[in-house]
Amino acid sequence: MTTTLFIKANNRSAEHSVSVKMYDAFLSSYKESHPQDSIVEVNLLHEQLPYLGATMIAGNYKFAQGMTLTPEEEAEQRIVRKHLEQFLAADKVVIAFPLWNLTVPAVLHTYLDYLHQPRKTFKYTAEGMVGLLPDKKVALLNARGGVYADHEEFAVNFVKKHLQVFGIRDITTIVIEGHNQFPDRSHSIIMEGLRNTALAAKLF
């Protein structure tokens, strides 16, 4: 059975949020077209996600080496390993996120930090880092109020860069953009984007 993990990095209501509307449109279309899949949903803003820092870095190292952890390191590793194992177990992953203050919500940055584990998601070789998840399929759903040139965009590009480190190449990207920049066309931009989102879900 295919397991599909749906990650939402937004706790605004669908009424107020375009990226949450995208998440909902993708999910309902996906459920209709993939009735046999097992679906797991995580809203990162409903989780307790400690930041990467000294305790987590030490805990990551000690866990990987089979060493004894302090109670604080152990508590953080339980959270890190839960999300890491859930990501590894998924055949497909959908990540919905807004552009907030030029980048991704901080919780998504923190979540991606948890996935950077040598011998789990990548390995070091003489030629550099090699990703270990070449078979995973990912869909990125992003909404941004303005229109951005590719080289000035630090949310979708940021997430893609992480996925590339993990060796993930099969990435579908759906973006709704410009609905704040062009208020007179806002409604049609969002409606067309949501139609594309629902269609992409059928093909994913």
Q: How far is the CB of 29 from ligand FMN (least distance, A)?
A: 18
Tokens 């949501």 sit at which residue? 194
- Give the nearer residue to ligand FMN in terms of CB position, either 127 or 150: 150
196 near ligand FMN, rule: CB under 6 A:
no
The beta-carbon contacts of 56-60 under 8 Å, at least 24 apart in sequence, are 56/80, 56/113, 60/117
- Give the nearer residue to ligand FMN in terms of CB position, either 20 or 201: 20
E strands, 66-127, where?
92-98, 122-125
Contact residue for ligand FMN among 3, 33, 43, 180 (CB under 6 A)? 180
The one-letter code for the residue type at 55 is T
> Is 33 annotated in some ligand binding site?
no
Rounded CA-CA distance 51/56 in Å is 8
- Give the nearer residue to ligand FMN in terms of CB position, either 90 or 189: 189
Binders of ligand FMN in range 138-177 (CB under 6 A): 143-146
Alpha-carbon separation of residue 84 from 95, 117, 152 (angstroms):
15, 9, 30
Q: How far is the CB of 164 from ligand FMN (least distance, A)?
A: 23
Binders of ligand FMN in range 96-135 (CB under 6 A): 98-102
- Give the nearer residue to ligand FMN in terms of CB position, either 63 or 154: 154
Of 115, 104, 113, give the one whose Cα is nearest residue 5. 115
Rounded CA-CA distance 53/51 in Å is 6
Q: How far is the CB of 88 from ligand FMN (least distance, A)?
A: 27
Total residues interacting with ligand FMN, rule: CB under 6 A: 16
Q: How far is the CB of 190 from ligand FMN (least distance, A)?
A: 8
| Cα distance from N-terminal residue to C-terminal residue, the chain | 15
Binders of ligand FMN in range 5-64 (CB under 6 A): 10, 12, 17-20
Q: Is 167 exposed, middle or buried (0-12, 13-18, 19+ CB in 10 A)?
A: middle
Annotated binding site: 17-19
What is the contact surface with ligand FMN in residues (CB under 6 A)?
10, 12, 17-20, 98-102, 143-146, 180
